[in-house]
Amino acid sequence: TKHLLARVAAHQQLGAFLCTDEALALAQAQAADDRRAKGETGPLLGVPLAHKDIFVTTDFPSTAASKMLEGYRSPFDATVVAQLKAAGSVTLGKLNCDEFAMGGSNENSAYGPARNPWNVNRITGGSSGGSAAAVAARLIPAATGTDTGGSVRQPASLTGITGIKPTYGRCSRYGMIAFASSLDQAGPLARSAEDCALLLSAMSGFDPRDATSAERPVEDYAAAIRAPRAGATAAQPLKGLRIGLPKEFFGDGVAAGVTTAVRAALAEFEKLGATLVDVSLPRTELSIPVYYIIAPAEASSNLSRFDGVRYGHRAKDHGDLLDMYKKSRAEGFGPEVKRRIMIGTYVLSHGYYDAYYLQAQKLRRMIADDFQAAFAQCDLIAGPVSPTVARPLGSQTDPVQEYLADIFTLPGSLAGLPGMSVPAGFGEEGLPVGLQLIGNYWQEGQLLHAAHAFQ
Ligand code: GLN
């Protein structure tokens, strides 16, 4: 803990952390030592972690990287945070992200971007950019993130680390500041599938305070990755595993260096005994308009709670109550958050609801059905996470172009499927490339097993 606190302090220019608390971390490390001295064991006992600032915590401010929540302290811990605390982990601080998790570059943080440790003038990806930067720079061995449309997988991919978004409902959303409730899921970012497995087991489970959390027993994912596949051999640990390659994930629009790295990784999977099969996810392109209707619609509703009364920022000079709401929101929210509230309010409006929101919901179902048709032919689906490597900071000013880069992570999110990013090598400019693996519902164990065999 001391060593990593020093690393965190020495690498502040990465913008990974929004706050730290050295005294608290040292006290937690001591408490973990005491538990160990009493004979307690556990894979996370005494392990330093940090949490995306989307999770509310009693020990630190919780801001969602927004001015709106500057200095806000929660009276309770998010369930995921409480579970990791109970497992004996040490919390070094809270991690930067896009404001309210809206974005894919961490440039939407009200507190400045996180920087990619591979090249500090490049984005980390987002929205869990601080988590990715902190793990990639070896400031912490693992971090929590959240993934609504790719926010664990894409920053993991762009910083060369491993991240998994489990099946929707696997982790409790209680205390995760809501962006789009039907899509939001927690997930770990770490150096390896094995470390992700250790965190995910501790983060998962039914929570009576989240009605969408699943009443399913929690798997020991670390055991799952070690368990040999039926029919596998030592040389071919993935023998019999069918990996589906959607043709829509390998077309134009993917950078040559990304495709090359992904193909090379898939060739390794073949050597490990897996077979590659061609599949199709015909509505891949539609996942962009569908997601960018549904997610802002839910966001516009979720963010109505930030009214200057109950939480955070209240404008100083205001007239009547309505003026106070307006000024507080105008000052507290950044431009991307305002854009999403506008879009969401519009698509839910009388007269537009059927044309946009309802249509998007119908397509969401069809996208999920397409996955089931593909999974009839394969066990896992693979492709790129992001069409490009990390772009330069400040190089994208067109929000629609930015949204298009989410094309490979959105389909799985809309379907509620588990997905992960596994380092696949390097592409353009020598920057990291992630291989995406998507599993069927509740197949996190199989995903992690395959990733671990590859690593
Ligand atoms: N980039 C996507 C967006 O901007 C996904 C964000 C996320 O998963 N939180 O909405």
Do strands 48-52 and 17-20 pair parallel, antiparallel, or not at all (unpaired)? unpaired
Is 94 among the catalytic positions?
A: no
pLDDT in tens, 178-220: 999 999 999 999 999 999 999 999 999 999 999 999 999 999 9
Output the tens digit of pLDDT for each of the chain's 455 residues: 999 999 999 999 999 999 999 999 999 999 999 999 999 999 999 999 999 999 999 999 999 999 999 999 999 999 999 999 999 999 999 999 999 999 999 999 999 999 999 999 999 999 999 999 999 999 999 999 999 999 999 999 999 999 999 999 999 999 999 999 999 999 999 999 999 999 999 999 999 999 999 999 999 999 999 999 999 999 999 999 999 999 999 998 999 999 999 999 999 999 999 999 999 999 999 999 999 999 999 999 999 999 999 888 999 999 999 999 999 999 999 999 999 999 999 999 999 999 999 999 999 999 999 999 999 999 999 999 999 999 999 999 999 999 999 999 999 999 999 999 999 999 999 999 999 999 999 999 999 999 999 99
Global pTM exceeds 0.90: yes
For a substitution probing ligand 1, which of 406, 417, 420 has the most ligand atoms within 8 Å of its CB? Answer: 406
Atom of ligand 1 minimally distant from the CA of 291: 10
Give the distance (Å) from ligand 1 centre to CA of residue 179: 9
Q: Identify the active-site residue in 89, 131, 151, 172.
A: 151
Closest protein CA for atom 5 of ligand 1? 149
Give the distance (Å) from ligand 1 centre to CA of residue 204: 21
CATH superfamily placement of domain 2-224: Amidase signature (AS) domain (3.90.1300.10)
Is 52 among the catalytic positions?
A: yes
Give the distance (Å) from ligand 1 centre to CA of residue 198: 25
Cα–Cα–Cα angle for 210, 128, 97, rounded to 5 degrees:
100
Interface ipTM above 0.95:
yes
Domains of the chain, residue spans: 2-224
The pair of structure tokens assigned to 339 is 């854009």
Residue closest to 171 by CA, chosen among 257, 51, 330: 51
For a substitution probing ligand 1, which of 107, 146, 151 has the most ligand atoms within 8 Å of its CB? Answer: 151
